[in-house]
Chains A and B, each alone.
Chain A
Amino acid sequence: MSNEKIEAGLAKYNANVEKAIAKFPERGHLPEQRLYTPLDIAGENYAEEIGFPGMYPYTRGVQPTMYRGRFWTMRMYAGFSTAEESNKRYRYLIESGATGLSCAFDLPTQIGYDSTDAISEGEVGKVGVAIDSLADMEILFDQIDLGKVSTSMTINAPASVLLAMYIAVAEKQGVPSTELKGTIQNDILKEYAARGTYIFPPRPSMRLITNIFEYCSKNVPKWNTISISGYHIREAGSTASQEIAFTIADGIAYVEAAIKAGLNVDDFAGRLSFFWNAHNNVLEEVAKFRASRRVWAKVMKERFHAEKPKSQMLRVHTQTAGSMLTAQQPNNNIVRVALQTAAAVMGGTQSLHTNSRDEALALPTEESVMIALRTQQIVAYESGLADVIDPLAGSYYVEAMTDRIEKEAWDYIKKIDEMGGAVAAIEKGYIQKEIQDSAYKWQMDVENGARTIVGVNKFHIDEEPPKGLLKVDASVGEKQKAKVEAMKAKRDNEAVKNALADLKTACADENENLMPHILAAVKTYATLGEICGVMREVFGEYEAHVNL
């Protein structure tokens, strides 16, 4: 059909709509136009902008066979209490068919404090597992073959230390570091912008990150050295376009820092990975995944002249949106997570964590985690959504929205470039303010009824408080403290002292790669708090300034 004919048809349709609306008003204002036609993607160059899976610009997916080859990795984020408890949960997940591990650490671990530190009181073992030294890490991966499993660790400011511990545990199991598969999150910029578990100021933090890139490119070549994360930016309240724009801006900053440190882009870019949120609006999310791959491919090829295809591919882990879970009628969350899973799968994710129904209330029970994992398996094996690659390509709506999100992302990236890049934009508070404004708008839309959350501002019922929530044993803090003290009494404290002194010297020399020094310290059973303490002395700490 020619465009003239379509335009004529559309004009006729619009006239009918006018008449219909006069009689039956439409429901409240929605941002998208109501109908999409070939006119909305009239200028689209299929070969250049959409293309084929496994081929530049990767809009349709990064692998040629996608889920026809194998499904995404079903990776459930877990960890709580002590290393012993978490080890049990990991082995349960592996027995239930999970194909990768994902470690959640408690807040003291994430901020580089020992369980024995006064500031850790009340937080030990709460949101993840407490790791104080190599001794805990040995227990965490007891009877788990690190040569087989792939492990993702949600650790940022002290990522170098936890990675060193993982390498040391593997060495004890007889697994060489060249065989290790997994990911460290290691994305400090989104910590400043959205997640809050930073330690050091941006400059030394960027150095630690580029040190890891360099070290791993030679010693741990199968490891994903960073997971550049939009997930938490979205959780903090951003829109879909902001999520990918700010994250890709962060990605640009990491690549620039590594190149500035003397690395060759194709030596490390293939190990960069991303982390997206799967939010409620299914089709917008699919468009977001597609747009993000296209933007990153263009950034890597055109801006950084990366030549290897792998350097241009945006490989992504996804988690369903925790902030969209409701405490009200928690079983409804199973349905939300199923739809979010559908979005991530149609968006072409490489791995996925599905949240459990009870996570707006507490850490999930084993039963809830099982339902969340089964949700992925049902989508994979029963729904048909994984049968063909990029099934929504060619939808007028999804293609137009992919273009719209890409354009919005480029506009933000340009603006951030003009500010001097992501680090400068974060230091100015620009990115934080944009996220806060979106979060506030969302909340006001919910409160004035423009946005409906089922069971919260509509379809509310009186309900009994849910029973059987997981409760972390209140004595975990004391238990962990005693373990740390006992470990310290047993180790060679002279060796610890020397290793820490050596690390301190290395910290002060900007040209020194810190990874070998951290690995040496870890092997003496120096604690995470001791190692980060040394780095705090040299690097100082980041101070945030909030502009409400």
Chain B
Amino acid sequence: MDKKIRVLVAKPGLDGHDRGAKVVARALRDAGFEVIYTGLRQTPEQIAEAALQEDVNVVAMSILSGAHPHLFPKVVNLVREKGMTDVLIIGGGVIPEGDIPALKEAGIAEVFTPGTPTSEVVKFINEHVKA
């Protein structure tokens, strides 16, 4: 695949903690991906729309407020509804282990918790984006 993988890094919900999102965005860019960062306070609708407009392969979301059980599945549904069936959707943040099975069930391909090296996120994307 010679076309660069395109990744939307998104902050759903109201939390303003974007140190992680920005570090991941920059690491993904340094790893050779095209990265678009949405900025703070994006609604699931805005994220799905941005994913469509930017024609991305990956949506990578970050939440630290605890709103992930509500917001992550909502984004998955809206992205799929817009016909983006191949788009890989991943998430990260302060997410208790116990919440992860339900998020995966809802269509989040992988959940990256605190302490994950950015290289692991890069590897996961490279292995799971459909060429």
Contacts and interface: CB of A to CB of B under 8 A. Distances in A.
B39 A544 contact: yes
B19 A439 contact: yes
A323 B114 CA distance: 10
A440 interface: yes
Given A236-B19, A237-B19, A326 B13 contact: no
A46 to B, nearest CB: 40
A472 interface: yes
Contacts of B16: 191, 195-197
A435 B114 CA distance: 20
A548 interface: yes
A447 B37 contact: no
Nearest to A361: B96
Q: Name the interface size band of chain B.
A: 35 or more
A119 B26 contact: no
Contacts of B14: 107-108, 110-111, 113, 119-120, 123, 197
Given A327-B115, A472-B66, A548 B22 contact: yes
Interface in B50-77: 65-67, 69-71
Given A127-B66, A195-B16, A361-B96, A548 B29 contact: yes
A447 B118 contact: yes
B65 A126 contact: yes
Given A196-B16, A361-B94, A469-B96, A327 B43 contact: no
Interface string A360-382: 11110000000000000000000
B15 interface: yes
A394 interface: no
A235 interface: yes
A546 B37 CA distance: 8
Nearest to A327: B114
Nearest to B13: A123
Q: Dominant SS at the A interface?
A: loop
Contacts of A326: 114-115
Contacts of A127: 15, 65-66
Interface string A464-488: 0110010110100000000000000
B39 A447 contact: no
A323 B19 contact: yes
A123 B39 contact: no
A456 interface: yes
B97 A465 contact: yes
Interface in B10-54: 13-19, 22-23, 25-27, 29, 35, 37, 39-41, 43
B119 interface: yes
Given A111-B14, A195-B16, A440 B39 contact: no
Nearest to A447: B117
Contacts of B40: 196, 544
A532 B22 CA distance: 29
Interface in A443-477: 443, 446-447, 453, 456-457, 465-466, 469, 471-472, 474
A122 interface: yes
Interface string B89-127: 000001011100000000000000111011100000000
Q: A127, A469, A474 — which one has the most chain B CB atoms within 10 A of its CB?
A: A127
A469 to B, nearest CB: 6
Contact of B26 (A121, A440, A545): A440
7 closest pairs, A vs B, by CB?
A196-B16, A122-B70, A465-B97, A107-B14, A122-B67, A126-B66, A327-B114
17 contacts: A108-B14, A119-B41, A121-B70, A123-B67, A195-B16, A196-B17, A196-B18, A196-B41, A235-B19, A362-B66, A440-B26, A443-B118, A446-B117, A447-B118, A447-B119, A457-B117, A545-B39
Interface of B: 13-19, 22-23, 25-27, 29, 35, 37, 39-41, 43, 65-67, 69-71, 94, 96-98, 113-115, 117-119
Given A107-B15, A439-B19, A457-B117, 8 more contacts: A113-B14, A123-B13, A440-B23, A466-B97, A472-B66, A548-B26, A548-B29, A548-B35
